[in-house]
Amino acid sequence: MITADHLTKRYGPHAAVDDVSFRCEPGTVTGFLGPNGAGKSTTMRMLCGLTRPTSGAAAVAGRPYRELPNPGREVGVLLDASAQHVGRSGRETLTLAARTMGVDAGRVAAVLDRVGLNPVAAKRRVGAYSLGMRQRLGLALALLGEPRVLVLDEPANGLDPEGIFWMRGLLRDFADRGGTVLLSSHLLREVEAVADRLVVIGGGRVVAQGGKDELLAGAGTLVRARDPHALRLTLDRAGLDATGSADGGCVVRAEPDAVGQAAADAGLVLTELRPAGGGGLEQLFLTLTAGASTKEAVK
Ligand SMILES: Nc1ncnc2c1ncn2[C@@H]1O[C@H](COP(=O)(O)OP(=O)(O)OP(=O)(O)O)[C@@H](O)[C@H]1O
């Protein structure tokens, strides 16, 4: 179990994370999504005791991370795969970590095998690893203590398509055995394939959270007309709540039937009318976070 309870982190006047609350339950993979600078890494660092919240609280496996007596046995963390010592081999890195955690040294070979680092790769210095190999080693470190919770920031970064597919299976299997996974990723299709639940943040705030299927189903209606201005006026007059989507259409909080009827009554020519979630997670993400990246870029 992971709990974020009204987490807020301010840097000067700027709130990097603003009143973020969510829970990740055992047996589930939660996808943590948001545009660049949305506050994902800062939230994950607060969950893992690396950044002190300005206000609010976080708990993993029932306690604040810093109060866990042997955290690696409870929570596997992968926040920055390039943070490992470049002068040690992969095997040495894991052997040292096993000693620190009090884990049987025999488990090193098992996790190396689990993450697909063969004996030749395990003997090489981490400095000579590709980003994908570092991610695999980072995941091996996270799994070493046989934790029940995983907190992973962009674990698929640098992995090739086969590696991404492999990681999806590994995370699904971990959750299916009762584990709890929180996973941030920019690879929306991968998140869509593996996550049960989603937490979407933009500008430091939660903009949506819930079951993946429920969020995709409740995303409203995407509508596009030959005359976009007349469409907005028509939707306003019909009392339908609409927002501009990132790509020029309108997302309306209503069923397609009601939107189509309002357009027909006004004699409008529609060029697209469909459930917004039908475009998958990518469409939902763009809709929910429309403008957030731009705000970040000009801040
Ligand atoms: N140590 C810090 N000092 C000042 N500002 C910070 C610090 N760490 C993060 N920020 C700011 O907090 C905001 C959120 O950053 P964060 O790295 O959490 O976003 P993110 O969602 O992980 O982004 P990305 O997808 O690009 O990794 C950004 O505006 C960032 O510049």
Q: What is the pLDDT of residues 221-272, one digit of tens each?
A: 889 999 888 998 999 999 998 877 555 678 888 889 999 999 999 999 999 9
Please check whether residues 29 and 153 belong to one and the same domain.
Answer: yes
CATH number at residue 188: 3.40.50.300
Are 165 and 264 in the same domain?
A: no
Does residue 234 share a domain with residue 200? no
Dist. CA 129–CA 217, nearest whole Å: 42
Q: Does 175 have pLDDT greater than 50?
A: yes
How far apart (Å, rounded) are the C-alpha atoms in residues 87 and 127? 6
Same domain, 137 and 230: no
Per 3-state DSSP, the chain is made up of helix, strand and coil in percentages (nearest 5) of: 45, 25, 30
| Cα 146 from Cα 152, distance rounded (Å) | 15
Q: In terms of Cα–Cα distance, which of 80, 47, 84, 43 is closest to 157?
A: 80
Residue 38 CB less than 6 A away from ligand 1: yes
Query: Which pLDDT score, from 0 to 100, does residue 291 have?
Result: 53
> Ligand 1: distance of its center to the CA of 41 in Å?
7
CB 200 within 8 A of CB 207: yes
42 Cβ below 6 A of ligand 1: yes
Number of domains the chain contains = 2
For ligand 1, whether the C-beta of 9 sits within 6 Å is no
* Chosen domain end from 215, 250, 274: 215
ipTM for the predicted complex comes to: 0.94
Tokens encoding 163: 């590696």
Total Cβ atoms within 10 A of residue 14: 10
Query: DSSP letter at 185?
Result: -
pTM of the entire structure? 0.82
Residue 258 sits in a domain of what CATH number? Answer: 3.30.70
Predicted confidence (pLDDT) per residue in 93-122, tens digit? 999 999 999 999 899 999 999 999 999 988
What pLDDT, in 10s, does the model give residues 194-203? 999 999 898 8
User: For residue 33, how far is its CA from the centre of ligand 1 (angstroms)?
Assistant: 14
- Does the pLDDT of residue 215 top 90, yes or no? no
Same domain, 176 and 225: no
Mean pLDDT, the chain, integer: 88
Q: For ligand 1, atom 11, which residue shows the shortest CA distance?
A: 16
The CB density around residue 1, as the number of other CB atoms within 10 Å, is: 13
pLDDT at 248: 63
Atom from ligand 1 closest to the CA of residue 44: 18
Tokens of 148: 């029940």
User: Is 54's pLDDT higher than 60?
Assistant: yes
Q: Which of 215, 240, 265 is the last residue of a domain?
A: 215
Q: Kindly tell me the burial class for residue 272, based on how many C-beta atoms sit within 10 Å of its own C-beta (0-12, 13-18, 19 or more).
A: exposed
- Distance between CA atoms of residues 63 and 13, nearest Å: 29
Q: What residue numbers bound the domain in which 234 lies?
A: 218-298
Per-residue confidence (pLDDT) for residue 298, from 0 to 100: 33
The residue-averaged pLDDT of 83-90 equals: 86
